Structure 1
Amino acid sequence: MVATSFFLAGLAYVSFALAAPVAEKRDDAVAFYDPVAGGGSWLNSVPNSGGGGEPLNVIISGLSSPGVLTIDGVVNYARSIGFSTECFGVHLGDPQTANLGDGNGWVKESILLREDYGDADFGTCLESLIGGNHFRVYRQNGPNGNSGALFLAASEEEDVKHGHTISPDGYNLGRDAIAAAANGRTSFKGVNYETTVERRANAMPAGTNGVNHGIAVDGTVVILTVRIV
């Protein structure tokens, strides 16, 4: 009976191990690669702006849990910190592109997420009317720099009456609001996250040179390392 019990327990363990999802762990994992080192830029490119770009001022580190570093994963994570997909899936304006120095060249944003004012289903419709925070997502996954990190272009914008233009100091404010919302424990749809926040000063050039709308940035990039717990 004892031997039989051990055999059944072992069989149950093996069955569970085979069924349980295993997160892929990369031996060469890094937080991110500096876009400039690979010929890229810390500023994205905004269509019809005369060459201006928005800062890539938040990074979800490649050392985060793999389940966060997919588009579905970052959407669920974003909902845990007060952001969601666009109102009824409608996107106004042309996509912005970024070159993350990973060998993919200039690529369009993967998704744009907006502040949801506490309602993940319809709250972004309110943001479209009254303004608020939002961010664009770009994946660093090219052949020359596959960190898996997600680069975010975050900014606070004005209401629809002001054409959704960026608020004064809107790039720094948008970044800092995300850092504050993400820090510590958050959850959505049964997925729990633990986020550590690092502020890296002088990661990008400070000032207004090349920045869309001529709004100054302070050069700091916020790095979020997100673990599913």
Structure 2
Amino acid sequence: MYVLASVLSFAIQLSAAIIKRQGVAYYDPNANGGSMLDNAGDGLGEPLNVIVSGLSTPDVLTDDGIVNYARAIGFSEECFDIHLGGPQSANLGDGNSWVNQTYELRQDYDSSSIGTCLESLIGGNHFRVYRQNGTQADSGALFLAVSKEEDVSDGHDIVPDGYNIGRNDLVSNAVGQTSFGGVSYTTTAQNVTGLLAPGAVGVNHNISVDGIVTVLTVTIN
């Protein structure tokens, strides 16, 4: 009886944790000392302009899950896993303070194996991933810093209006039906204002943003 009670107790706790994780799309980082700009250095940051909702299918929100989803919408891991430059960090107001990016994923030009090598040369879209999972705001949501960058000859600087363009291009590729590696996804999008301030104050490269954050809800079919 004791063993059965322990198993039931564990099952109830696990169920409660799943319900908690699935019950919130995201928490506003600004409400608890966080920021919708990551830390790119020199006191400037890049906008967290896309959120993969905590209401998405839980498997999408794992490390392997977001990489597979990224491949389904035209992104892959960096060329031969080589990354130039230091990682950027973000404070999502979840109690974890400033945490380095989980991944940086780049446009793969329809080749998940070597396409990101082309992006490193000619430029394109890319995004950084941060997970909101601290004890003070555990939504499980993934906050993405998306931008379109120049080619290597221009030092991978962000193109003019590159934060808005990068977000819009990613969302355009994501919405609707996509698939990769035998996993099929349905993605819906909602634009949200009030999280990210419009303008260029504090924004890396002094590139103005429109203040729109797009929330993606991703369901595995």
Q: Give the alignment's TM-score, normalised by structure 1.
A: 0.88
Aligned residue runs from structure 1 range 1-229, under 5 A: 25-27=18-20, 29-47=23-41, 50-229=42-221
Measure, in 2, the Cα distance between the counterparts of 1:60 and 1:187: 16
* Partner secondary structure for residue 44 of structure 1: coil
What displacement does 1:26 show?
Answer: 1.7
What displacement does 1:177 show?
Answer: 0.5
What displacement does 1:200 show?
Answer: 1.1
| Counterpart code for 1:26 | I
What displacement does 1:203 show?
Answer: 2.7
Measure, in 1, the Cα distance between the counterparts of 2:18 and 2:185: 18
- C-alpha root-mean-square deviation of aligned residues, in Å? 1.2
Q: What is aligned with 2:5?
A: none
| Counterpart code for 1:141 | N
Measure, in 2, the Cα distance between the counterparts of 1:70 and 1:35: 20
* Partner secondary structure for residue 105 of structure 2: strand
What displacement does 1:202 show?
Answer: 3.6
Measure, in 1, the Cα distance between the counterparts of 2:91 and 2:181: 33
What displacement does 1:27 show?
Answer: 4.2
Measure, in 2, the Cα distance between the counterparts of 1:40 and 1:25: 24
Measure, in 1, the Cα distance between the counterparts of 2:18 and 2:90: 27
| Counterpart code for 2:112 | A
Larger Rg: 1
* Partner secondary structure for residue 26 of structure 1: helix
* Partner secondary structure for residue 147 of structure 1: coil
Residues matched between the structures, number: 205
| Counterpart code for 2:103 | I
* Partner secondary structure for residue 173 of structure 2: helix
Measure, in 1, the Cα distance between the counterparts of 2:137 and 2:25: 11
Identity value in percent: 60
Structure 1: gaps of 5 or more residues: 1-21
What displacement does 1:201 show?
Answer: 2.7
| Counterpart code for 2:215 | I
Question: After the TM superposition, which segments of 4 or more aligned residues of structure 1 sit over 4 Å from their partners?
Answer: none
| Counterpart code for 2:114 | F
What displacement does 1:38 show?
Answer: 1.0
